[in-house]
């Protein structure tokens, strides 16, 4: 399973690629618009390219939102699992240490997911 840092890096790289491609398309469309009709792309082609660039940006935003929601949900699930292991440790004297260790691990994973969600949220806010 991919760790939180690896996943964040992959998402961040993909978002940067999509942002870069959108910027390239916007710049190219601007160049084509300046040339005017009859000297390259038609106005309809430029309009279609702009629409595609906007759609690509919307898809990138959707990916960011889904990734953010996924990490927020994962953090909540890990926190609930930690609580469950704490409760099990309270009633299961034969494996008290094991349950406490699992609770700690789930809290560590919850913290990692919250950290990734925080980075995603701040990166997304910075791009809007």
Query: Which pLDDT tens digit goes with each residue over 4-14?
Result: 777 788 888 88
* Better-predicted residue by pLDDT, 124 or 63: 63
In terms of residue numbers, what domain contains 60?
4-127
Alpha-carbon gap, residue 77 to 120, rounded angstroms: 19
| Count of structural domains, the chain | 1
Angle at which helix 96-127 crosses helix 4-35, to 10 degrees, equals 10
Alpha-carbon gap, residue 28 to 111, rounded angstroms: 42
**Residue 57, both tokens:** 């940006």
Residues 35-64: b if buried by 16+ CB within 10 A, e if exposed = eeeeeebeeeebeebbeebeeebeebeeeb
- Model confidence over 12-57: pLDDT tens digits? 888 888 888 888 888 888 887 777 666 667 788 889 999 999 999 8
Alpha-carbon gap, residue 112 to 11, rounded angstroms: 15
Alpha-carbon gap, residue 92 to 98, rounded angstroms: 10
Average pLDDT over residues 77-87: 95
Alpha-carbon gap, residue 14 to 65, rounded angstroms: 14
């Amino acid at each position: 399973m991919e760790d939180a840092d690896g996943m964040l890096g992959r998402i961040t790289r993909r978002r940067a690629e999509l942002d870069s491609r959108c910027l390239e398309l916007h710049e190219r469309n601007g160049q084509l618009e300046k040339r005017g009709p009859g000297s390259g792309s038609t106005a309809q082609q430029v309009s279609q390219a702009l629409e595609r660039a906007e759609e690509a940006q919307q898809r990138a935003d959707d990916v960011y939102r889904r990734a953010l929601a996924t990490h927020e949900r994962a953090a909540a699930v890990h926190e609930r699992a930690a609580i469950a292991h704490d409760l099990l440790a309270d009633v299961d004297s034969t494996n008290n240490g094991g349950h406490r260790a699992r609770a700690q691990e789930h809290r560590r994973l919850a913290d990692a997911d919250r950290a990734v969600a925080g980075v995603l949220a701040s990166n997304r806010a910075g791009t809007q």
